[in-house]
Amino acid sequence: MQKYSVSDSPGGPHSSNNRVTPPLAWGEGWATFFALSSQKRTSYADTNSTGMQVYYDIETLPAVGGTIAALYPEVFKCVGCGTCTRSCPMDIDVLGYISKAIQGDIAAVAEGSFDCVMCGLCAARCPAEEVQYNIAILARRLYGRHLVPRAAHVAKAVKAIEGGAFAKALQELKKKNMDELKKLYKSLEQEPDIAEDSWTPKDRSFLGD
């Protein structure tokens, strides 16, 4: 990552018992995302200094409340003190979504923890030694993969691409020089800042319809 990006992460050794800064959290989160995405992996390993702690494959993991309890049973150690919520730099109601996790409400946990930056301050200060942010990311992954309704227009677009609907247009674009491409780009109709969901450009020749 250091070769391809500029990072203000302080780096260095750290664990769930340390207080860390948001830049460190962003750096670690991006590295995890990049590694899984580039390798097209669906498995996630939550590790600590003692080795692998939790390992799961999001494709085969059941999207039920019991999954959180099975992988992170320490969620039931919560004493409701609210230290996690008071520690959160993103003003997230951490205790609120942990309560939903105890109830098995995956969707509520995913929504409540949406703004989490994985800084770890909640876990570092938790007297019950929970790792709230890992519980949250599990819920968001379960929700995103198995529970959220699939967008019909995206499925339609993917089907069109796989069917070669844009093949001819792409070949035509490849024949153009840089000046021609710039002129074509500038001439495209722009979507209004406030547009209806059904908005489409007048020229639909490149939409694969």
Domain residue spans in the chain?
22-147, 152-209
Residue type, 192: P
Please give the pLDDT value at position 54: 79
Distances from the Cα of 114 to the Cα of 26, 65, 121, 185, angstroms: 14, 18, 16, 35
Q: Tens digit of pLDDT for each residue in 174-199?
A: 999 999 999 988 888 888 888 888 88
Determine the CATH number of domain 22-147.
1.10.1060
What are the backbone angles phi and psi of residue 149, rounded to the nearest 5°? Answer: -60, 140
Cα 51 to Cα 45: distance, rounded to the nearest angstrom: 10
Q: Kindly report the pTM of this predicted structure.
A: 0.63
Please give the pLDDT value at position 1: 47
**Of all residues in the chain, what percent carry a pLDDT higher than 90?**
39
